[in-house]
Chains A and B, each alone.
Chain A
């Protein structure tokens, strides 16, 4: 069964450093998303992406964040200058249609020290 994959599974970084989280969505999906879950809190929407453009972003997704589909298979989330409060699980998701069911990857646990 096709699935969303994410790398790395864990990342530890120093405050102020840049991190890139990588995702390979399900191959025939066209809509891509990033969410995060801070420990003990809800899963929160960050951004949706379609046709090489951001469709919607939350207020969390400020200028420090960017997304890219550098090739036909990868979808990345970059945090330019990490803050302590960026420590969270980051989940990538994809769907085949607009508003359709989103399938999630296993997540990347980011720890900012």
Chain B
């Protein structure tokens, strides 16, 4: 059941540059999307979210873009810092349905920020 896909298992980026992480989804009923960051042996840490009524949300160095027609979202991190090295998960849910609490996760993208 691959409703949320992150097709890039890894991404290497230089410190100071932009990291762009991509996520695709198949369920058109998804209306709330989140990005989480995860370090080894820790739980997912919430980064940023976006509702389907918007196409962009920004919080500091993190910006999420949503393209509903393409069923695609992306996370931009600018500038990338060494502490950003982690696994990034895209997640989606149907906020106003009976499945409101069920987050569907992508497989994750391992980001490595190099000096």
- Chain A residues with CB under 8 Å of chain B are 4, 6, 31, 33, 35, 42-45, 48, 50, 55-56, 58, 91, 95, 98-99, 101-107, 109
Contact = CB atoms under 8 A, between A and B. Distances in A.
Interface residues of B, number: 27
Contact of B43 (A4, A56, A98, A99): A4
Interface of B: 32, 34, 36, 41-46, 49, 89, 91, 93-96, 98-108
Given A45-B102, A50-B101, A105-B43, 14 more contacts: A43-B91, A48-B100, A56-B101, A91-B43, A99-B32, A99-B93, A99-B95, A99-B96, A99-B100, A103-B46, A104-B36, A104-B44, A104-B46, A107-B41
Main secondary structure of the interface of B (DSSP, over half): loop
B34 A101 contact: yes
A43 B38 CA distance: 11
A99 to B, nearest CB: 3
27 contacts: A31-B101, A33-B101, A42-B105, A42-B108, A43-B89, A43-B91, A43-B103, A44-B105, A45-B103, A48-B101, A56-B98, A56-B99, A95-B101, A98-B95, A99-B93, A99-B96, A99-B100, A99-B101, A101-B34, A101-B46, A102-B101, A103-B46, A104-B43, A104-B45, A104-B46, A106-B41, A107-B42
Contacts of A58: 102
Contacts of A109: 41
Nearest to A32: B101
